[in-house]
Structures are given as structure tokens and as C-alpha cells.
Structure 1
């Protein structure tokens, strides 16, 4: 099984038009790392019969129900093997996919425009601590968090709830971009003993907040300058 999974990983970045080409006799397609490790028919057999969920009991409320048990196991392993660090990043990540699936997303002006969108919590070294797949309406989503903070940042708040109890007491600093920033979530993180830093969209700034106008600020200051407001 380790060999089978290794082949899946290798074929993810060494891409050929058809999977069978890795066992092809032509020198421009054959991959000896694959063909010498496992026979083609054996690989096909495992691929046909391996499942992460019971196909006889589908959960139609979850678009990715076939791999949800596997994702849940990964989440547990990621957190259990994580060495906590102070600074953490929360952002979206695209997994390239051109096939047909109801969860496939299209994002304009992105390096990967078609694929699956994942909410990811990472350490500065790039270690993936936790993840959640965007499915439109999240059947496992916390409706209270979504109403209070918004659907994009709600997964981060839920991920902090999934930290083991001793880790929850650590003083984390979260960083995110303007898709996730908002005063409500920043205030919530502060109440939990955490810090949050991120750019913010102008339409999310309360009128009572004494920050300079975006155009005026950009005109009078160099790139990298920031303005703070305490109150």
C-alpha cells in the first residue's frame, strides 16, 4: 500500500496524458520508478477496490463523502504531529482539477483557476496544521460563526476550537489577507488571547473608525506604510 500511495504522489507532479503510460515501453513516457515498483494490472486492481467510505451508505449531504473519512484522519494526524509555533497563516489553496465535480471552483486571475478550494491553516515553515474543503454550503460548518464572522473566516475559528486543550492556551498570532479580515473576528481572537493581523477591505471599516481614506493614504505614503487606530 505504501508503494501504491507513492505512485499516486509521483503521478501527481509527473503528469502524463494517461495513467497506463507510466508502464509504456516507449522511452518518452515510461517511468521506471513506477514500472519497476508495481505491475500495471496490480495497480489497477488496488485502484478499483480501494475505498475510504462505504459506497452502500452514501452521505448525500456531503459532496466529498467518499474521501471525508480519509480527510478526518489526516486532520487528526496533522494536529497530533504539529510542533506549535507562534505565528500561523490562514489562507485559501487551490488543488488543480479539470474533471467534473460539484465542488470544483473557478477563480479568475489565479495561477490555478480550476480545481478544489481548500481552507488551510499553516505554520511559517509550510506545515499544514488543519484544512477544510470548500463545498458551498458546509454541512459541518458552524452556522453561528458563519453569521457572526462570515463564511470565509468561519473555518479558521472552527479550527482553533479543534486545537487540543493545552495548545488552546498558547498565544498564537494569526495572519490573513483582506478576504478574511474583519473587526468582528479580530475582536473575537483578542478575547481568546490571540492576535490577528491582515489587510482589510475599505467597505468593512466602520464609519466611526478614524482611518485615512484609501486614496489619500496611498498618495501620501510609501508602499509598506501602515496606520493604526486604538479605540
Structure 2
């Protein structure tokens, strides 16, 4: 009898323990995959050490599920519906060093609730990089004075955009509408407040940047397209060095292939800038495939289609012939470089040169 009573008591204790754990984890939507996510992040950090500059931003992962409670919508993102990740990535290669999933306003645990979500996101993602002199670049959602000063105490430098309505905006720079009336494109002003310098630069819109390591008076040049009476023209404008640093990172023209190539070269320890520089034309007087910075329509594909009265395809390529100086496809399934220089290609060459549209590299 005593044994039976003890068994029932023990069984009730086990049920109570399981119920407590269930209540504790009922709001954790990642219970079943959390160990996997932590493992992926750990492996990512063990395989790569970021360069001096890193960036913090959100990233959307496409998802069509409806019932998890953590699906997000961001209107201005290419992927508008899905899971939102907070990500810290290397600014040169784009390599993801640290990340975690956003579970919503009520489920997100904040280490310091008095300083807001953005502050906690940056501190959590950068916790393994502080005290090493890293530069963290952020947009205006994350930039606050608390964050900039707390990171500075940990020998980490925040360079970020500042909202017009943010408490981080100095009082003397809040008259943005007046500044836009009396200034023209390329004008800027700066203000130092303690360890931070604030630079306000007039472009299409007025941009304000804060930094603890740059000089407000250092200037450079940038090129912008301007609409004039005779049409759009490119002009040189003055640009301060803080804004120049804020656009540091992977080129916007990078595609998926270019990104993977640059990441692979970086992981192998190769000189990224040297490898990505334009390859000079060969000096020998023979037809050799060469890579161009810009993609152009393949003259062989277009010439053949035009000659046969077919619709001209839009096949673009980075490759061109060093001697003929014409863009040509060079792929496993479509080798226009070989076809162009074959006896069959002579007919296409004559057609393209007499009736085709001239294409400059």
C-alpha cells in the first residue's frame, strides 16, 4: 500500500515537472530547431573571422507558413513575407557571422529593456567581437547614443545613419528643412559632441551620419547623375569621408556568382581586391577569351537569330574576344566563342558586321 502511494506521488511529481517545462517553453517557437540554429552559428564563427568592418541589419527568409506566430511582413524588402533574422555580416565578403530569429515583440527576450530592441540586437550579435577594434555599420533603426557610447567603451566603433526624429540627433542639426533651403547638392556640415562626430550631407535627401573615429572636415569626391536641360549627365560632388565609409561593402552589382567567388577567395586567403580587378587585355595578336567588368549582349546569338528571322534573344555575357573585341558566350551548353571562330561563324560574322547593331565593349 505504501509502495503504491509512493508510486502515485512520484508520478504526480513527474507530471508536475513536465507541465512546468511545457508552460515555460510554450512561447518558444524554435524549441525543436534551436540546437540546430546554434550549431550552424557556431560552425559559421569557427570557419571565418570577419575583417575590420562588419554590418548589422535584418534579413528575410521566404516562408509561406501561416500558423507559427512568428511570420513577419516588411513592405520594402524584396522578400516581404517570411521569417526575419537579425544578422551580423562581414562588410567585404557578405559572410554571415552571427544571427538569430526574431520571434515577435512579446516573445523576444531583452537583456536591457530600458535601451530598446535595436540596442539589444546589436549587443547580442557583436558580443564575440567587442574589445577588438571592430567597426560596426548600421542604418538609422539601430543608431542611438547609448549604443555608440557603450560600444566605444568596449573598443568597438559604431558608424551609423541617424533619424531626423532620433534622440541621437544633436539639437544644432535638427533644422534640416532650413539647411536644405540654403544648401545645394554636395554641401555638408558637421558637429562634434564628446567622442562622436555628426556629419550632415546633402544628396538627393539629407543624410546624417555619426562616427567616433572619423573627422568631419575630411572630404572626398563622388559621382552623381543629374537631370539637366540637355538630359542626364554625371557630375562630381564633394563627399565627406564619413559618408564614404558608410557605403563600405560588397558592390551592388554583385550577383550570386560574383558573391560566391569573392567569398571563396576570401576564405582561401587570396587578395580580394587584386582578384576582382579588371583583367588586362592580352598583348598577343590572337583570339583569346577575356573577362569584362560589364555584361553585354552576345553578338553571335543575336546575329544568328537576326539572320534566321527569329526573335533576338537577350543573352548577356562577361566574356569577349581579345582580338575581335566582341562579346561572346562561353558556357558549357552555349559556346559562342568557338562557333564565332569556326567556318560556320564566318557567315554570322559577315551578317553581324554588315547588318547587325554595333556594340562597344
**Would you tell me which structure has more strand in proportion to its own residues?**
2
Corresponding residue of 1:18: none
In 1, are the aligned partners of 2:54 and 2:88 still within 8 Å (CA)? Answer: yes
Match of 1:110 among 68, 71, 77: 77
- The answer on 1:187 being equivalent to 2:149 is yes
Distance 1:79 1:207 in 2: 34
Quote the residue 2:193 is aligned against: 230
Query: What is the Cα deviation at residue 106 of structure 1?
Result: 0.9
Structure 2 vs 1, CA of residues 138 and 188 (structure 1 numbering), >3 Å: closer, same or farther?
farther
RMSD: 2.4
Corresponding residue number in structure 1 for 2:161: 199
RCO greater where, 1 or 2, for CA within 8 Å and sep 6 or more?
1
In 1, distance between residues paired with 2:193 and 2:141? 22
Residue 139 of structure 1, CA deviation: 5.5
User: Which one has the largest radius of gyration?
Assistant: 2
Query: Structure 1 segments of 4 or more deviating over 4 A?
Result: 137-140, 223-226
What corresponds to 2:203 in structure 1?
A: none
2: distance between equivalents of 1:227 and 1:82? 37
| Residue 133 in structure 1 maps to residue 96 in structure 2 | no
Distance 1:226 1:93 in 2: 33
SS at match of 2:56: strand
The secondary structure found in structure 2 opposite 1:204 is coil
- 1:132–1:155 contact (8 Å) kept in structure 2: no
Counterpart Cα distance in 2 of 1:189 and 1:216: 33
Structure 2: distance between partners of 1:207 and 1:71? 37
Aligned to 1:94: 60
- Aligned partner of 1:122 among 67, 74, 89: 89
Task: Tell me if structure 1 keeps the 8 A contact 2:51–2:90.
Answer: yes
Counterpart contact for 1:104–1:115, Cα < 8 Å: yes
Give aligned pairs, total.
169
DSSP-derived class of the 2:42 partner: helix
TM-score, normalised to structure 2, is 0.43
Partner Cα separation in structure 2 for residue 133 and residue 184 of structure 1: 24
- Provide the C-alpha distance between the structure 1 equivalents of 2:78 and 2:98, rounded to a whole number of angstroms: 23
Give the direction of change, closer, same or farther, for the CA distance of 1:138–1:190 in structure 2 (3 Å limit). Answer: farther
Which of 40, 43, 52 aligns to 1:77? It is: 43
Partner Cα distance (2:102, 2:156) in 1: 25
Aligned position for 1:37 = none
Aligned to 2:234: none
Deviations 1:127-177 (A, max 9, x none): 100001110147673331x322x112312202222x1xxx54310000010
Cα contact 1:173–1:194 (8 A) shared by 2: yes
**Within 5 Å, which residues of 2 pair with 1:206-225?**
209-219=171-181, 220-222=183-185, 225=188
Q: Which stretches in structure 2 are left out of the alignment for 5+ residues?
A: 1-20, 195-361
Show structure 1 runs of 5+ residues with no match: 1-56
* Aligned residues of 2:41 and 2:98 also touching (Cα < 8 A): yes
